[in-house]
Chain A
Amino acid sequence: MTADAPLLSVEDMSICFGRPGISTNVVDGVSFTVSPGEVVAVVGESGSGKTLTGKALMGLLPRGAGVSGGRAMFRSGKGGHCDLFRCTRRELRALRGTSISMIFQEPMSALSPLHTVGDQVEEMLRVHESISGSACKGRVLDMFGEVGFPDPERAWRAYPFELSGGLRQRAVIAMAMIANPRLVIADEPTTALDVTTQAQVLDLITRLQRDHRMAVIMITHDLGVVANMADRVVVMRRGRIMEAGPVREVLHQPGHAYTRALIEAAPHVPDTMPTRTPMPDDAIVTVRNLNKTYPGRSRSFGPPDPPVQALADFSLAVGRGETVAVVGESGSGKSTVAKLMLRAECPDPGGVMTFRGRDGVVLDIPSLKGGELDAFRRKAQMVFQDPYAALSPRMSVMDILTEPLLIHGICSRKERKDRAANLMRRVGLAPSHLGRFPHAFSGGQRQRIAIARALALQPELLVCDEPTSALDVSVQAEVLDLLEELKEEMGLSYLFISHDLAVVARLADRVAVMRRGHVVEEGPAETVFGDPRHPYTKALMAASPDPDCNQKLDLKLVAAGAGKPESWPEPFAYSGTAPPLVEVTPGHRVRRQAA
């Protein structure tokens, strides 16, 4: 920590949504300072006011919101101070970009779809500096190189939608950095990215921050990220600061109950996994050699896209009472597995997929019809990723919970209501909330309701497609606990889909790691986590940040595993057709060239 005065000092800042009469502060009395070259992390659950804090500093508060108190003294270039909350718009505009800039959360929507990436990045320079076009371009290309674009020229010409998520985030970072600001506010720069990309982006930010000696305010709710990046931490909850201090102290000796809860909730892959019961012979779902190809999207213009092989030669068995996890990066075909298994879609012909209920009847899932399909629907249910989208906004919780029973004509009205109340209790919500509508609930509560709905028919198999990735860590932990509890109680079998190995590590009995439609490694959880063989599995594990300042990201591993299959080390590399799964130890199979 340098001795010189802080670059920014926020004192007693309050933000309110000013509807006359009912304006309550959503950010209340927040104070912190940022020194040059320092990384300050702002953490806290969703809705705690992190983003608003960041936006307030940029003068970008949404309509209706306003700073209701406090000041934010920013040391401008010549040593003078100015209060960001009291600048004129013009002064603020001059500060933006050159002195303070912001990295936004969603790289796709943060970039205009109609302009090339180069154009948008360059605009930052054109707005603030009068330099020639070619000089501009030169600087942008340099910056693109610096943020790790493999081909800066191409990136310059590309439109945002032509870039992958990681590259887009790089473009956004480049935009924030290009004018050499002294303070960068990074608002959850990695939450939209999958873990391997996240690791690379975090590394990039650290590197740039060091090289350019910028101060960074890092907004996140992920303590793992904090541990890897920050010098100091500010923990927020409900618009107030709960705890603030140097990162080590806060993470390792948390003073506040909330911080402790947060740290406990943060998932991480344990060093040693408890040995779980081996897979029972009684498989509830058996899948063998399944393929699924989506026809390429036909466009209104031009030839249709080539078909997408979403799932290739997929085999998996879910034992009764077992939790099988499917992990893998975005787009690797995880959801496709879920959809096929629930007969939301039909697989390509060939392959086997059967369901065997408790009653011993074996159903061939792809060919189900009529009454059999109804029976199957009662036994297999799904929990969706986005708790906000999964509940119809026009139905009360009561309607939502009784609907499955209504559809299948089970029970009388009275019984249905009782069951709904029971379900509410079961998922930890008060039955008095039954009359309410989904929009009154928080994300975690909604996910509980969604789970309750899935349980209403007392299914045997529950497919959870990333049930927690939309929730913040503390809520996520609660939901995971709930799922675990339910499993014990009701003897459920889970197919659990996630891209986060750390989450999976808590629940799974067996794990299948997927990459581009293929399972690359599969086996009992303890073996996969304890003895990962495939470079991609290793990369995934290496990429999940731990909330522990002593275990920083191992980027080398990430880089080795996350690339294209061709770039994987032998004997895993392939191009064209994939090699087969090879059993390395009993029950543990890895996709590699046969030795």
Chain B
Amino acid sequence: MTEHYVSDAPYDPEADRQVLDRADLDAATWVLVWRRFRRHKLGFACGIFLALVYLALPFVGFLAPYGPNEIHEDSINAPPQGVFFTHAGSWVGPSTYAVEMVPDRDTFTMREVVDDTKPMPLRFLAACGKPHEFLGLFETRARLICPAEGGTFHLLGTDRLGRDIFSRILWGAQLSMTVGLIGVTVSFVIGLVLGGMAGYFGGWIDATVQRAIEVFRSLPELPIWMALSAAIPVNWGPISVFIMISVILGLLDWPGLARAVRSKFLALREEDYVKAAELMGAKPSRIIRAHMMPNFMSHLIASATLAIPAMILGETALSFLGLGLRPPAVSWGMMLNDALNLTAVEIYPWILTPMVPVILVVLAFSFLGDALRDALDPYS
């Protein structure tokens, strides 16, 4: 091939200069992130799921058929109650049968006695049960689903005191789903401040923070948990205790984050664009705010979503050790703790159902976190 080949394609340097290199990237960062995030089908779905759950939290009173601590003497350890639509061959709409639990002296259990002669249609958007506070504004008895008058509706069964598990799961979500948020906030505030100071100022501050992290990490979590839990004044109300528990979880979580923040700050400080801002005369506060933070936020958001599941599990662990929340507060951890015995596993397996939301939420957060991490990665 000795011939001299010349293509006939035209060439214009000026037009060339104006042409965008990656036209597909021509958008604000958040738009790009959103686009990449949407490509993550699973993560996206999880995000939507979580958003819906969080949106629903304030309306739990309306969504749950019963209150969290409503005790039904006659439905102790009742198994999940079937919902059916036809009775004796004819359409009756979603209904239940009347169920009574009677003690069985031979097996030492409660036996289910179902009266399947009379269907009891569920009522929707009706008023029933004890009043609940709607958004903390006013009391109402309006509920999405109500059992028939005189009937019961225990979708997931009841526990040893005859409390409706489905309703408790919904109520428990209020605490369990927020424990992570608060914990993460605490952990982030501490981690950001300490790690940020260590990374930005260096020197003795850095050394001190590093030592503190080292000390913190060489202690097992257990005594710290116990000491901190012991520090909660015993006469606090459930909400304050709840907040303290979240704070404790946050307090235990910060060292890892502080380390990440520190190294990230160290790295970001060396970026050319940060140096450029310095050379333009920008003050440290502006550099941190306008240049470092935005580039760090993505990392933070991703690690936050990954830290939340750990907190949710941490709450269950605390409950297990008896250091967590106390009745009448309801959380998934406490419900699981109730399930922690052979009888629950063997005879009343429905008591274990709070595992499902825990796993779902933890999974959702993890996938969301993964998706966010990928979406926020500018190189993907």
Contact call B281/A393, Cβ cutoff below 8 A: no
- Of A113-121, A218-226, A251-259, A308-316, the stretch lying at the interface with chain B is A251-259
- Of residues 115 through 164 on chain B, the ones whose CB sits less than 8 Å from some CB of chain A are none
In the complex, A243 Cα to B281 Cα: how many Å?
49
B73 lies within 8 A of chain A by Cβ: no
Which listed residue (A33, A241, A396, A445) contacts B28, Cβ 8 A?
Answer: A396
Closest A residue, CB atoms, query B277: A403
Contact call A430/B271, Cβ cutoff below 8 A: no
Contact call B22/A440, Cβ cutoff below 8 A: yes
Contact call A436/B280, Cβ cutoff below 8 A: no
Contact call B7/A440, Cβ cutoff below 8 A: no
Interface centre among A32, A396, A437, by most B CB within 10 Å?
A437
- Of A187-195, A372-380, A527-535, A585-593, the stretch lying at the interface with chain B is A372-380
- Of A98-106, A276-284, A381-389, A518-526, the stretch lying at the interface with chain B is A381-389
Which listed residue (B7, B19, B29) contacts A256, Cβ 8 A?
Answer: B7
- Return chain A residues, CB-CB under 8 Å to B17: 428-429, 444-445, 478
- Of B77-85, B286-294, B328-336, the stretch lying at the interface with chain A is B286-294
In the complex, A404 Cα to B29 Cα: how many Å?
21
B223 lies within 8 A of chain A by Cβ: no
Tally A residues with Cβ within 8 Å of B: 62
A370 shortest CB reach to chain B, Å: 11
B90 lies within 8 A of chain A by Cβ: no
Interface centre among B22, B279, B283, by most A CB within 10 Å?
B279
A16 lies within 8 A of chain B by Cβ: no
- Of residues 324 through 381 on chain A, the ones whose CB sits less than 8 Å from some CB of chain B are 342, 344, 373-374, 377-378, 381
Contact call B11/A407, Cβ cutoff below 8 A: no
- Return chain A residues, CB-CB under 8 Å to B283: 407
Chain B 26-64 per-residue mask, 1 if CB under 8 angstroms from chain A, else 0:
111100100000000000000000000000000000000
Contact call A393/B29, Cβ cutoff below 8 A: yes
A138 lies within 8 A of chain B by Cβ: no
Which listed residue (B5, B27, B280) contacts A377, Cβ 8 A?
Answer: B280
Contact call A245/B4, Cβ cutoff below 8 A: yes
- Return chain A residues, CB-CB under 8 Å to B2: 1, 245-246
A72 shortest CB reach to chain B, Å: 15
B217 lies within 8 A of chain A by Cβ: no
A485 lies within 8 A of chain B by Cβ: no
Contact call B281/A257, Cβ cutoff below 8 A: no
B301 shortest CB reach to chain A, Å: 13
Which listed residue (A232, A389, A437) contacts B273, Cβ 8 A?
Answer: A389
- Of residues 1 through 32 on chain A, the ones whose CB sits less than 8 Å from some CB of chain B are 1, 6, 32
Closest A residue, CB atoms, query B23: A440
Contact call A256/B6, Cβ cutoff below 8 A: yes
Which listed residue (A32, A384, A403, A444) contacts B272, Cβ 8 A?
Answer: A384
**Given A237-B11, A243-B7, also A344-B29 (CB < 8 A):** no
In the complex, A245 Cα to B6 Cα: how many Å?
9
Which listed residue (A33, A241, A244, A377) contacts B279, Cβ 8 A?
Answer: A377
- Return chain B residues, CB-CB under 8 Å to A440: 20-23, 25-27
Chain A 394-425 per-residue mask, 1 if CB under 8 angstroms from chain B, else 0:
11100000011001100000000000000000
A170 lies within 8 A of chain B by Cβ: no
Interface centre among A245, A249, A440, by most B CB within 10 Å?
A440
- Return chain B residues, CB-CB under 8 Å to A47: 21
In the complex, A243 Cα to B25 Cα: how many Å?
31
Closest B residue, CB atoms, query A383: B276
In the complex, A239 Cα to B49 Cα: how many Å?
44
Closest B residue, CB atoms, query A248: B4
In the complex, A407 Cα to B279 Cα: how many Å?
11
In the complex, A183 Cα to B32 Cα: how many Å?
42
Contact call B286/A245, Cβ cutoff below 8 A: no
Contact call B280/A457, Cβ cutoff below 8 A: yes
B89 lies within 8 A of chain A by Cβ: no
B18 lies within 8 A of chain A by Cβ: yes
**Given A344-B278, A407-B280, A444-B17, also A391-B7 (CB < 8 A):** no
A453 lies within 8 A of chain B by Cβ: yes
B256 lies within 8 A of chain A by Cβ: no
Chain A 483-509 per-residue mask, 1 if CB under 8 angstroms from chain B, else 0:
000000000000000000000000000
In the complex, A563 Cα to B7 Cα: how many Å?
44
Contact call B5/A244, Cβ cutoff below 8 A: yes
B280 shortest CB reach to chain A, Å: 5
Which listed residue (B13, B271, B279, B378) contacts A342, Cβ 8 A?
Answer: B279
For this complex, 19 residue pairs linking A to B, each with C-beta atoms less than 8 Å apart, are: A241-B7, A243-B4, A243-B6, A245-B5, A246-B4, A250-B4, A258-B9, A374-B281, A386-B272, A393-B295, A394-B294, A395-B290, A403-B277, A407-B281, A429-B17, A436-B26, A442-B21, A443-B21, A450-B276
Taking Cβ atoms with an 8 Å cutoff, the residues of B that contact A are 1-7, 9-11, 13, 17-23, 25-29, 32, 271-283, 286, 290-291, 294-295, 378
The 3 closest A-B pairs by CB, nearest first: A245-B4, A442-B21, A377-B281
